[in-house]
Amino acid sequence: MEFFNKVGKVALGSRLRLMTAIITDDAAKIYELYGMDFMPKWFPVFYTLTEDREITITEIANEIGHSQPSVSKIVQEMIVAGLVEESLKSNDKRRNIVGLTAQGIAFSKELKLQLKDVEAAVDGLIAESSTNLWAALEEWEFLLEQKTLLKRVNEQKKLRESQDVKITGYEPQYREAFRSLNIEWISTYFEMEEADYKALDNPEEYILNKGGKIFVALYKNEPVGVCALIKMNNSDYDFEMAKMAVSPKAQGKNIGFLLGQTIVNYAKEQGAKKIYLESNTILKPAVNLYYKLGFQKVFGLPTPYKRCNIQMELVL
């Protein structure tokens, strides 16, 4: 186990596979000990068939969490071994029913005695251990069902990379980045509209000089994300959050959330009570981000954008 001590928890999958291999190897020897010509991989399918009910290969696969082709292959192997038969008579003639042969039924009775000894041996192992592995596996399965290891790793990746992200206020040197980043994402999904050009070509006049704010996300000192807070007059809202864009090469680094969070915090500092935004539901990651920031749907406000089909507000 020196390798795992050296590598650590990142080798979790490899260590579990090794333990599985050790236990599976012992399982094959246990069947030999009891004089049984049986393969360990057959057990889940065979045990399901011992419950004496009409069942198909697809239903077995769903019940034990295996793929249908895998179960089908195991069934064919057990048919050759004389333990299982298929195409049994059923109340529904459209279903291909699988069941135990007379030999399989006799084998299942012998298997029950073996299982008692195996269960007692596992109970003894649990008693000797400071950790109940069976209970721990149930807990891990539940936790991974709630959030997969892939998602957990992705979150850590975003967190690590976000430490290299700096959010700064707009300066003239970022004018082209503000324009080009927005044009890039708008053109990817929609068509540029007159209101877009008005804000992007004249950010000082249209946004900053009217009491708004623009923030820029720098990743390793390169501008890769932007977002604006536009002052709203003659409205129930203090500001509109708009013109958020993140470069495709910098996505997955939590930049959108960091920009949004900065916008919200700045609005609070200005004494704002409500922030408004417009978007489109085809932009699912963006809409999910807005919900994460606390925005909720609203309806019926006039908009200059043809692409807008969802309006949201954040009550501060």
In this predicted model, what pLDDT tens digit does every residue of 184-217 receive, in sequence order?
A: 999 999 999 999 998 999 999 999 999 999 999 9
Check residue 300 and give its pLDDT: 81
Check residue 253 and give its pLDDT: 86
* Cα separations in angstroms, 309 against 193, 228, 304: 15, 20, 12
For 228, the token pair is: 């604006």
Cα(59)–Cα(163) distance, integer angstroms: 48
Listed as own residue / partner, the contacts of 282-288 with beta carbons closer than 8 Å and 24 or more positions apart are 282/189, 283/189, 285/256, 286/244, 286/256
For 203, the token pair is: 């950010």
Question: Where does the pLDDT of residue 124 fall: very low under 50, low under 70, confident under 90, or very high at 90 and above?
Answer: very high
Residue type, 156: Q
Cβ distance 178 to 170 under 8 Å?
yes
Tell me how many degrees the CA angle 154-256-153 measures, rounded to the nearest 5.
Answer: 5
Q: Where are the domains of the chain?
A: 34-146, 159-315
Burial class (CB in 10 A: 0-12, 13-18, 19+), 114: middle
Check residue 276 and give its pLDDT: 96
Cβ distance 264 to 315 under 8 Å?
no
Q: How much is the average pLDDT of 118-124?
A: 95
Residue 304: φ, ψ to 5°:
-85, 0
Decide the pairing of beta strands 239-246 and 274-279: parallel
Give the CA count within 13 Å in the CB-facing half-sphere of 285: 11
Check residue 92 and give its pLDDT: 62
pLDDT of 236 strictly over 90: no
By C-alpha distance, which of 48, 52, 36 is closest to 118?
Answer: 36
Tell me the residue ranges of DSSP E strands in the chain.
Answer: 84-88, 97-100, 165-169, 213-219, 222-231, 239-246, 274-279, 296-298, 310-315
Question: Where does the pLDDT of residue 42 fall: very low under 50, low under 70, confident under 90, or very high at 90 and above?
Answer: very high
* CATH code for the structural domain at 34-146: 1.10.10.10
Place of tokens 């012992």: 26
Question: Where does the pLDDT of residue 87 fall: very low under 50, low under 70, confident under 90, or very high at 90 and above?
Answer: confident
* CATH code for the structural domain at 159-315: 3.40.630.30
Cα(161)–Cα(72) distance, integer angstroms: 45
- How much of the chain, in percent, has pLDDT values that exceed 90? 80
Question: Where does the pLDDT of residue 93 fall: very low under 50, low under 70, confident under 90, or very high at 90 and above?
Answer: low
For 61, the token pair is: 């696969």
User: Is 120 or 86 the better-scoring residue by pLDDT?
Assistant: 120
